[in-house]
Amino acid sequence: MNWLNDYRMKLVLVGFVAAIELGGKNAKADFTFGEPVNLGPPINTEVGEVPCSFSLDGLELYFDAYNRPGGYGTWDIWMSTRPTREDPWSTALNIGPPINTHSWDESPGISADGLELYFTSNRSGGSGAQDIWVSTRATRDDPWEEPVNLGAIVNGSGHECAVKVSSDSLLLLFSGDTGSPYPPGGIGQSDIWMSRRTTRDDKWNPPVNLGPLINSPYQDYAPVVSHEGDTLYFGSNRPGGLGYHDIYQAPIIPIVDFNGDGIVDALDMYTIVEHWGESYSLCDIGPMPWGDGIVDVDDLVVLSEHLFEKVDDPTLVAHWPLDEAEGTIAYDSAGVKDAVIVGGATWQPSGGQIYGALQLDGVDGCSITNPVLNPADGPFSIIAWVNGGAPGQVIVSQQGAANWLTTDANGNLMTELKGAGRSTGPLFSETVITDGNWHRIGLVWDGSNRTLYVDGIAVAEDTQDSLQGSDKGLYIGCGKAMEAGTFWSGLIDDVRIYNRVVTP
């Protein structure tokens, strides 16, 4: 196995409030796996037997085999059972119709209760080359019913395979052979994707790609989450492995700093209490790894395990503390997006709300950053402390695109970041932030709603179908075109950008 000890990668996903860190230090890396043991002739034959799925009790084993005698097609799904975990496996049996056909039927994923069997097939009636199907049964003693295609929402035009379902049957992980050209969100030759649903009676939501920090330009496939819910395992042929295909692991870490202030404390506890009993994905962190669709005591238990911890938040994609005392660089403590200070800007090492701050003259002083994120890509939050300023001046903008955090003609907080349609427009609040006092301001986009915050209170909110996209860098302290009158005349401190929703 290759654990990529020298390469750390992280991400957060909509509806999956957990950070996945590839490699690095984690609990499971401290022990050594034993030597693999061949399951022998009850399971294996001279033909190919490939990825398997266990029932939660460990008494049923599902796998697929290529051209195994007694099959119905080229690839078929087989199963073996045992009375207890200490007993040997029985001779594998072909599970037969209606699961297996003359087509390719493979990559089984059994639900925890054994009543849903997900698999992939190229049989007729699908959306693409190979689709995900599901068959159900009333009890484990009943036969499997006719499989149902998950539909075009989940299945694309290429190959979907290696499907696994979470213990609550509300989350689906699978591999997608993206081919060329890649579908929207595709990264490599084969990517790992995720889909969610609210209840078992609901339809699956559109899949979300696990992103470039897990998926590579190569083949990433066969995702499996540990029974404890704290580790993701998957296969990849990316460079740096020991063989043509290696196994990798990624510990799953809950995001418990809900307001993005760098510490888990009573404010985060208050956020859980505020949304108690709701289906609120930000706080739905327990039981691990993906919650249960409601904010309750399970989430409180996970939070309590991290109370008063300072956190290194993997969703913090850029953070300019603005605590420098000299020079023309504002360093990004979260990564490599250091900003350049230009014009009438001076450091105030002891004049900030959190240590130092940047004083801007309102004429030509500002800070210029490299690209951080594209607003069209998904949820994000931007938070900053400000003091001073005047009506019409801008705190943060995207070069040539939109003013993200700005003020209107009365000094009220507003944003000009909007959807692409003609009917969309700026979002205005009625809260003044140019009164000479410190204010913590924020813009949060959850994929459907724009929300403006001032001092921890939501002061304006609306719904948008999407946001206009741009890959350009940011201006801190002036408008999108650096036009006169938009330069901030006051202090800016501790600017943070997250690729998730926070509650500032």
| pLDDT-derived band at 16, boundaries 50, 70, 90 | very low
Phi first, then psi: what are they for 31, rounded to 5°?
-120, 165
| Mean pLDDT on 21-37 | 52
Residue 190 DSSP symbol: B
Phi first, then psi: what are they for 107, rounded to 5°?
55, 60
What are the pLDDT digits (tens) for 423-449? 789 999 999 999 999 999 999 998 889
What are the pLDDT digits (tens) for 169-217? 888 999 887 554 445 567 778 889 888 887 888 999 888 888 777 888 8
Domain locations in the chain as residue ranges: 18-254, 255-314, 316-498
3-state helix, strand, coil in the chain (%, to 5): 5, 35, 60
| Mean pLDDT on 109-120 | 93
Per-residue confidence (pLDDT) for residue 155, from 0 to 100 = 87
Q: In the numeric block, which tokens belong to residue 261?
A: 């202030």
Per-residue confidence (pLDDT) for residue 21, from 0 to 100 = 37
| Cα 392 to Cα 79, 137, 468, distances in angstroms | 68, 63, 22
Radius of gyration (Cα) for the chain, nearest Å? 26
Single-letter amino acid, residue 186:
G
Angle between helices 297-304 and 266-274 in degrees, nearest 10: 170
Q: In the numeric block, which tokens belong to residue 461?
A: 């909110």
Q: Which of 108-112, 196-200, 266-270 has the lowest mean pLDDT?
A: 196-200
For residue 299, give the H/E element and its range. helix 297-304
Q: Which CATH number fits domain 255-314: 3.40.50.970, 1.10.1330.10, 3.10.580.10, 3.60.110.10?
A: 1.10.1330.10
Higher-confidence residue of 217 and 491: namely: 491
Residue 224: how many other CB atoms lie within 10 Å = 20
CATH of segment(s) 18-254: 2.115.10
Per-residue confidence (pLDDT) for residue 343, from 0 to 100 = 97
CATH topology of domain 316-498: Jelly Rolls (2.60.120)
The 3-state DSSP class for residue 267 equals helix
